[in-house]
Amino acid sequence: MSTTTDAPRVKRELPPLMGLSEAAAERLRGLYAKGEEGKLLRIGVKTKGCSGMAYDLTFVETQGPGDERVTDKGVTILVDRKASLYLIGTTMDYEVKAMSAGFVFVNPNEKGRCGCGESFHV
C-alpha cells in the first residue's frame, strides 16, 4: 500500500522581502531629495554586538550585483542578497523620540535582541 498522493503541491506565497512604513518612506524621500540625492539606501546585516547581528545601512551610488531592488510606497531601497534570508517580511520604520530619531526594524525572523537594542539573533 502506497502513502503518496498525486495531488498537486500547493505553493505558499512568500512574504515581501521588505516593506516600508509611511514614516520611513517619508524620511527616505527627504534624504534622497537632499544630501543623498542620486543615491540609494542599501540594507544588510553584519556580525556585530552581543546578540550576533546588526542592521547595516549604507547609501550607495549604484546597485551592486548582489543587491535586490525593493520599491514600496514609491521609494526604492536595496537589500544585500546575503541578508535576504534574515530580512524576509521585515518592515522598516522611522521613529522620533524625545532624545533620538532613526530607522527601526520590525523583523518577524528575530528570536531576540541584546539589552542595548543594537544587535539581534535569528
**pLDDT per residue as tens digits for the range 22-69:** 999 999 999 999 988 899 999 998 887 665 788 899 999 999 998 999
Entry pTM:
0.79
What would the grid cell of residue 101 be? 530619531
Q: What integer pLDDT is reported at residue 4 of this predicted model?
A: 60
Least confident window among 9-13, 19-23, 38-42? 9-13
Spatial separation of the C-alpha atoms in residues 122 and 115, rounded to whole Å:
15
Q: How many CB atoms lie within 10 A of CB 114?
A: 14
CATH topology of domain 18-111: Hypothetical Protein Aq_1857; Chain: A; (2.60.300)
Per-residue confidence band for 120, with pLDDT thresholds at 50, 70 and 90: low
Spatial separation of the C-alpha atoms in residues 79 and 70, rounded to whole Å:
7
**What are the two backbone dihedrals, phi and then psi, of residue 77, each rounded to the nearest 5 degrees?**
-130, 165
Spatial separation of the C-alpha atoms in residues 105 and 60, rounded to whole Å:
20
Helix residue ranges per DSSP H, the chain: 22-33, 84-87
What average pLDDT does this structure show over 13-30? 90
Q: What integer pLDDT is reported at residue 37 of this predicted model?
A: 87
pLDDT digits (tens, 9 = 90+) for 84-100: 988 899 999 999 998 88
